[in-house]
Structure formats: C-alpha cells, structure tokens
Amino acid sequence: MTSLPSPLEIIPHRAPFLFVDSLTALEPGISATGVWKLTGDETFFEGHFKGRPTLPGVLMCEAIAQVGACAILSDEKFKNKLPLFGGLDGARFRRQVVPGDTLEISVSLGRMSARAGKGSGVARVNGEVACECDLLFVIVDN
C-alpha cells in the first residue's frame, strides 16, 4: 500500500491559510478526503467569537475547496495549473465547529475541463454534517 501525499506536496497553500492537515483518500481527478484538526490555537478563534470560539463558515468552505484542489492538482492533466474559486453554491452550515473538533472533509469532482470544473463537498465532525457546498473552480496557469 502506498502512502498518500501531504497536502503541502499538492496545493500551494501554506500557514496560516492551509486548512487541511492530511489526506485520508485520494482519487486523482475524481475525489479526495482530508482532515483538519482544530487545536484552538488558530488566531481566528480569538475574535470569532469572544467567549464562544466558533470556526467561521467561510473557512469551512475554503477547507472543502482545498481538499477539492488536492483532487484536481493530483491529476497529471492539471500539472502546473492552479484552481481558483469561481463560485460557491448551496452552502449550508449544519452545526457549530469549535476548538478540539476534527473536520473530516470529502469532495467529489464533477465535470472538469481544461479551464473550469465543478465539485461538491461535505465537512463532518464525528460523522455529523457541519457544512456542505457546491464549488466552481476556474483553472489558471500557475
């Protein structure tokens, strides 16, 4: 069994804007699953919200997009490319995510062309849906 690459080996994101710690499944060009462990040391928890730290929903959507980017960029036909957000549809937030939670993020890619593509993703905590959304990627040269 081969080990999965680190997100750092696939996507260009780096701290403090890397929101996927590891991949647990990867089918290049098709799907990816990753994990983001929230320690509570993340700076956004300080101000969102004082006394009740909560992961901002937009960052859950970004984490879903980063896992999707891992699926895209692991496909050889997207070598030297960069998937950017082209749109976000149907975002729904189902539960609060707090320090100590681990997000399990799954993304399935839909139609992909050389210039754009679609995907849908779900972020869960202990199997319970926290966020779901549909993504539109625009593919540009890196």
Where do we find the tokens 């149907």?
Answer: 90
Instruction: Give, for 90, the enclosing helix (H) or strand (E).
Output: strand 81-93
Q: Under a CB-based contact definition with an 8 Å cutoff, are residues 36 and 19 in contact?
A: yes
Tens digits of per-residue pLDDT, 69-116?
999 999 999 999 999 999 999 999 999 999 999 999 999 999 999 999
CB atoms within 10 A of CB 51: 4
Tens digits of per-residue pLDDT, 106-142?
999 999 999 999 999 999 999 999 999 999 999 999 8
All structural domains of the chain? 26-141 (3.10.129.10)
pTM above 0.95, yes or no: yes
Given the residues 26, 28, 30, 48, select the one marked as catalytic.
48
Which of the four pLDDT bands, split at 50, 70 and 90, describes residue 1?
A: low
Q: Is 13 considered catalytic here?
A: no
